[in-house]
Protein backbone atom coordinates (compact mmCIF):
# COMPACT_ATOMS: atom_id res chain seq x y z
CA UNK A 1 0.00 0.00 0.00
CA UNK A 2 1.19 3.47 -0.71
CA UNK A 3 1.08 6.26 1.91
CA UNK A 4 -2.09 7.81 0.48
CA UNK A 5 -4.03 4.56 0.85
CA UNK A 6 -2.76 4.09 4.40
CA UNK A 7 -3.78 7.63 5.30
CA UNK A 8 -7.18 7.20 3.69
CA UNK A 9 -7.74 3.95 5.62
CA UNK A 10 -6.81 5.64 8.90
CA UNK A 11 -9.21 8.49 8.15
CA UNK A 12 -12.03 6.01 7.44
CA UNK A 13 -11.27 4.17 10.68
CA UNK A 14 -11.33 7.43 12.64
CA UNK A 15 -14.62 8.47 11.03
CA UNK A 16 -16.08 5.07 11.92
CA UNK A 17 -15.00 5.44 15.55
CA UNK A 18 -16.44 8.95 15.76
CA UNK A 19 -19.75 7.78 14.26
CA UNK A 20 -19.98 4.98 16.81
CA UNK A 21 -19.32 7.44 19.64
CA UNK A 22 -21.95 9.85 18.28
CA UNK A 23 -24.53 7.08 17.89
CA UNK A 24 -23.88 5.82 21.41
CA UNK A 25 -24.21 9.34 22.78
CA UNK A 26 -27.53 9.87 20.99
CA UNK A 27 -28.90 6.47 22.03
CA UNK A 28 -27.82 7.05 25.64
CA UNK A 29 -29.45 10.51 25.66
CA UNK A 30 -32.71 9.23 24.20
CA UNK A 31 -32.77 6.29 26.60
CA UNK A 32 -32.13 8.60 29.55
CA UNK A 33 -34.90 10.95 28.43
CA UNK A 34 -37.32 8.05 27.96
CA UNK A 35 -36.57 6.66 31.41
CA UNK A 36 -36.93 10.14 32.91
CA UNK A 37 -40.27 10.58 31.17
CA UNK A 38 -41.49 7.20 32.42
CA UNK A 39 -40.42 7.98 36.00
CA UNK A 40 -42.08 11.40 35.93
CA UNK A 41 -45.27 9.90 34.54
CA UNK A 42 -45.26 7.22 37.24
CA UNK A 43 -44.84 9.82 39.98
CA UNK A 44 -47.56 12.00 38.47
CA UNK A 45 -50.08 9.19 38.19
CA UNK A 46 -49.26 7.85 41.62
CA UNK A 47 -49.83 11.28 43.16
CA UNK A 48 -53.05 11.62 41.23
CA UNK A 49 -54.32 8.33 42.61
CA UNK A 50 -53.52 9.41 46.14
CA UNK A 51 -54.95 12.90 45.96
CA UNK A 52 -57.77 12.17 43.54
CA UNK A 53 -59.31 14.22 40.76
CA UNK A 54 -60.29 17.20 42.98
CA UNK A 55 -56.59 18.10 43.29
CA UNK A 56 -56.39 18.85 39.56
CA UNK A 57 -59.80 20.41 39.05
CA UNK A 58 -58.33 23.87 38.53
CA UNK A 59 -55.91 22.74 35.83
CA UNK A 60 -56.37 21.78 32.22
CA UNK A 61 -55.24 18.21 32.98
CA UNK A 62 -58.55 17.54 34.69
CA UNK A 63 -60.30 17.85 31.33
CA UNK A 64 -58.15 15.05 29.90
CA UNK A 65 -58.59 12.82 32.93
CA UNK A 66 -62.35 13.15 33.32
CA UNK A 67 -64.69 10.14 33.12
CA UNK A 68 -61.98 7.47 33.22
CA UNK A 69 -59.98 8.84 30.32
CA UNK A 70 -56.77 8.55 32.33
CA UNK A 71 -56.27 4.99 31.13
CA UNK A 72 -56.32 6.16 27.51
CA UNK A 73 -53.72 8.84 28.28
CA UNK A 74 -51.45 6.27 29.95
CA UNK A 75 -51.81 3.90 27.00
CA UNK A 76 -51.09 6.71 24.52
CA UNK A 77 -47.93 7.80 26.30
CA UNK A 78 -46.77 4.20 26.73
CA UNK A 79 -47.35 3.60 23.01
CA UNK A 80 -45.33 6.71 22.18
CA UNK A 81 -42.43 5.58 24.38
CA UNK A 82 -42.57 2.07 22.89
CA UNK A 83 -42.57 3.54 19.37
CA UNK A 84 -39.58 5.75 20.16
CA UNK A 85 -37.63 2.81 21.56
CA UNK A 86 -38.57 0.64 18.57
CA UNK A 87 -37.42 3.40 16.21
CA UNK A 88 -34.08 3.69 18.02
CA UNK A 89 -33.53 -0.05 17.79
CA UNK A 90 -34.41 -0.11 14.07
CA UNK A 91 -31.98 2.75 13.36
CA UNK A 92 -29.28 0.96 15.36
CA UNK A 93 -29.77 -2.27 13.39
CA UNK A 94 -29.80 -0.38 10.10
CA UNK A 95 -26.51 1.30 10.97
CA UNK A 96 -24.99 -2.05 11.91
CA UNK A 97 -26.14 -3.53 8.60
CA UNK A 98 -24.75 -0.63 6.57
CA UNK A 99 -21.44 -0.88 8.45
CA UNK A 100 -21.16 -4.57 7.52
CA UNK A 101 -21.91 -3.81 3.87
CA UNK A 102 -19.37 -1.01 3.91
CA UNK A 103 -16.67 -3.31 5.33
CA UNK A 104 -17.40 -5.93 2.66
CA UNK A 105 -17.30 -3.28 -0.06
CA UNK A 106 -14.01 -1.87 1.26
CA UNK A 107 -12.37 -5.28 1.38
CA UNK A 108 -13.49 -6.06 -2.16
CA UNK A 109 -12.14 -2.76 -3.50
CA UNK A 110 -8.75 -3.19 -1.85
CA UNK A 111 -7.95 -6.20 -3.99
pLDDT(54) > 60: no
Mean pLDDT for the stretch of residues 40-61: 61
Give residue 107's pLDDT band: very low, low, confident or very high (50, 70, 90): low
pLDDT, residue 42, reads 79
Q: Which H helix or E strand runs over 27?
A: helix 3-51
Is 80 inside any structural domain? yes
In a domain, 99, yes or no: yes
State how many domains the chain has: 1
pTM of the model: 0.44
User: Is 35 contained in some domain?
Assistant: yes
Residue 110 located in a structural domain? no
- Other C-beta atoms lying within 10 Å of the C-beta of residue 4: 8
pLDDT tens figures, 84-96 = 888 888 888 888 8
Amino acid sequence: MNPKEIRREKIHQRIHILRIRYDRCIIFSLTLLSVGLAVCMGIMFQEMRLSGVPAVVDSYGSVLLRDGADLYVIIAVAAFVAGAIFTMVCIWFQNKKSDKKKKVWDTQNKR
